[in-house]
Structure 1
Amino acid sequence: MADSAEERVMQNLKTIEEWALQGMSQKEMAELLGIGESTFRKIKKQNVALLAVLKQCANTRKKIMEEQVKSVEVSLFQRAKGYDRIEKVPIKVKEEYYNKDGKKCSIERVEIVEKVIHIPADVQAAKFVLTNKAKKEWLDNPHKVENDKENLKLKKQELQNKGF
């Protein structure tokens, strides 16, 4: 039984790699392969190729996630500060001229121009960034933890005095 399961895993190594890159768990992979999770783990321990594929996929997914998180952090910080964005806007241009006969003529055409649009700072985004990056200075109540600990001590003393 173990040989056929191992053969099935080795035949589907490329598929397993795709599944791992998608973030599928080992339990889900085992189910799709038609083997038990413990069998899959056993094969993984014994098979260097499978272990290498899974480790490589885990590292790749970790790098991708780090890049995505960094991208979101940059966007959030930019939103918190406010920024300028260049937008292409069509405008109608009217040109007037005189033809050979001296008659006044006009031509209308559409031109695309770049317009700078300012996106103002978002107060909620700024608050979120500050409360996460500079916690001690920007918490709503920086002494909350200390106050809660003190309240807990007082409640414990009160319970002990009552005889609980």
Structure 2
Amino acid sequence: MDDSSVWSLRLADEAATLAAGRQLARGLGGGVIVTLHGDLGAGKTTLTRGVLAGLGHVGRVRSPTYTLVEPYELPTLAVYHFDLYRFADPAEWRDAGFAEYFGPHSLCLLEWPEKAQGCLPPADLAIHLDLDGDGRQLTVTALTPRGKQCLSILTTPAAD
């Protein structure tokens, strides 16, 4: 994979994780699928809170651990935040009817995607959060041409 397909950043604390999520939001839009990887407590939901704030969501962002999906209807985009940790079998993905959430006007963020392995559409971006001392190491990898476009927007300095 070439350097333009990967973006890495060390996150010192929760505030840095939220800021990285807001920055990440610049490259995201409808039809994009993002997988979130990391141990329990690695910051996947915190990063998602930052993404939603960066997309203009105002209000509470709940972890979908027990509901499996939390929807956020923004003016131009529907965002679906999935947490598949509780899935025991990938077939639960099909049984839940979640495939209907994926489309050109929705952004789908999936925690624990390996729990539905073989059932999910291909991800555009894979995000890994790894514990790094007191902080985290964030690695974003573009997996598709659309993902590479998202990453390109993300890594372009914002206009002031």
Which interval holds the TM-score relative to the shorter structure?
under 0.3
Between Structure 1 and Structure 2, which shows a larger proportion of strand residues? 2
Larger Rg: 1
Bigger helix share: 1
Normalising by the residue count of structure 1, what TM-score does the alignment of the two structures yield?
0.17
Higher relative contact order (CA 8 A, sep 6+): 2
TM (norm. structure 2) is 0.17
